[in-house]
Amino acid sequence: MSLLEASTVEHQPYRAVNRLTIGNTRVWASLGKELREAIEIVSHVLPFRTNRYVIDHLIDWERVPDDPIFQLTFPQRGMLPPEDYAALVGLVNAGAPQGEISALVERIRLRLNPQPAGQKTHNVPVLDGVRLPGLQHKYRETVLFFPKRGQTCHAYCSYCFRWAQFVRIKDIRFAATETHQLLEYLKRHPEVTDVLITGGDPMIMRTAALAEIIEPLLDLDRLSSIRIGTKSVATWPQRFLTDHDADDVLRLFERVVESGKQLALMAHYSHPIELSTDQARDAIRRIRSSGANIRMQSPVARRINDDSSTWVEMWQKGVQLGCIPYYMFVVRDTGAREYFELPLARCLEIYASAYRRVSGLARTVRGPSMSAFAGKVNVEGRATIGNKDVFVLEFLQARNPELARRPFFALFDPKATWFDQLRPASEADNEFFLPL
């Protein structure tokens, strides 16, 4: 029996658990009063969703609240500024009208920078004078597509920089209901070689709906690669094993590869535990048997994976299973950033220490990388120039392609957590910090 035909995991229907349903589970009863209040209050602001696979297989409940996957998926009190948390608790406990609570929630959300790095203002392309709200085109060769039916996930990551996709803020979500605008845009932009289908998580979609997006792309000769951004490989591997159309999605992957295009699943793995279950490993084998490849990426986040040994184990396990370590990101400047962020100097230490302890097959990984307004800024290292201690930086991707792969320098700042907190080391570095 081939891997594509094998189904070694017992069928488990997908069941989401969110703020409104968590109270009906045994998990809720096992949590202390303070944790229960935090989940209830914070999830008014930041979206919360998980599932039985995460609860039963990935979280070590003996370690809660310090378990990394619990921190990754369940809201925590420190994810909101203290004054906002207190204000929201006051309204909820006083039995305030829902309209008053919702107004406060929206004010808090808007202060959390819901659309960082020009996503709404600068990344949306234009076709015949009309903005295309379900697309983004930041880097010359790559277009992002946000299918409306893929704008949720099997489980939400609490550090997700696209958390605003999951909440009801007027005019803030990206979503495309049809593919014809994407196809027309690609036909008029021959420089585009890659399409990234993203969300949310496109793998929440049924295979038939996903095929409606992907199959027309196979006729575009200039398009060489199709990427799918997904967390399903980590939080719902049954999508590729026992869901009713799991075999269908593998056949779709095969058709993409047979067309001569590369299919890459940009898989968000945050911790090695996500690679440790039989379901996770079987899902990877089935995906790879279709000819698709899996690239691993994640932010380095406090309380989840903020030590080098965790990354060494994750990269080594991934390589052993045939995955490609791709990116170590810096937590983006949105949402619960202060709860998860680390100084850039610490991110660099974690990355460098882990990199030195893995073989060449894992050294495909790049980082620590910030997806800032101007582009993907990689922290290459520290150096001393004259009498100045500096960060050595480089754009891996840039809105202005001429800036890519040109080393530049910022004054070393031990507290800086994001690119906009850095300053040029000299006049020669100014052009890399200028607004576009």
Residue 397: C-alpha distances to residues 142, 171, 343, 369, 417 (Å): 10, 28, 22, 10, 20
- Please give the mean pLDDT across all residues of the chain: 91
Whether the per-residue pLDDT at 296 is higher than 50: the answer is yes
The answer to whether 153 and 103 are in contact (CB under 8 A) is: no
**Predicted confidence (pLDDT) per residue in 304-342, tens digit:** 999 999 999 999 999 999 999 999 999 998 888 999 999
Whether the per-residue pLDDT at 5 is higher than 60: the answer is no
Give the residue from 272, 388, 282, 266 showing the smallest Cα distance to 329. 266
CA atoms of 423 and 319, how far apart (whole Å): 37
**Predicted confidence (pLDDT) per residue in 169-226, tens digit:** 666 666 777 789 999 999 999 999 999 999 889 999 999 999 999 999 999 999 999 9
Q: Look at residue 93 in the predicted model and tell me its pLDDT.
A: 92
Number of helices (H), then strands (E), belonging to the chain: the values are: 14, 15
The answer to whether 167 and 116 are in contact (CB under 8 A) is: no
Q: Look at residue 28 in the predicted model and tell me its pLDDT.
A: 79
**3-class SS of residue 251:** helix
Grade residue 415 by pLDDT with cuts at 50, 70 and 90: very high
Grade residue 17 by pLDDT with cuts at 50, 70 and 90: confident
CA atoms of 366 and 376, how far apart (whole Å): 11
**3-class SS of residue 54:** helix
**Predicted confidence (pLDDT) per residue in 26-70, tens digit:** 777 788 899 999 999 999 999 899 999 999 999 999 999 999 999
Q: Look at residue 12 in the predicted model and tell me its pLDDT.
A: 55
What does the pLDDT average to over 343-366? 98
Q: Look at residue 199 in the predicted model and tell me its pLDDT.
A: 87
The answer to whether 405 and 420 are in contact (CB under 8 A) is: no
Q: Give the number of other Cβ atoms within 10 Å of residue 86's Cβ.
A: 11
Q: Which range in 16-30, 124-138, 309-323 is most confidently predicted, on average pLDDT?
A: 309-323
Whether the per-residue pLDDT at 430 is higher than 80: the answer is yes
CA atoms of 198 and 202, how far apart (whole Å): 6
Sign of CA dihedral 131, 372, 49, 210: positive
Grade residue 163 by pLDDT with cuts at 50, 70 and 90: confident
The answer to whether 302 and 308 are in contact (CB under 8 A) is: no
Q: Look at residue 9 in the predicted model and tell me its pLDDT.
A: 36
Helix (H) or strand (E) holding 207: helix 207-217
Q: Look at residue 6 in the predicted model and tell me its pLDDT.
A: 30
CA atoms of 391 and 389, how far apart (whole Å): 7
Residue with tokens 């520290």: 382
Rounded to two decimals, what is the model's pTM?
0.92
What does the pLDDT average to over 394-406? 94
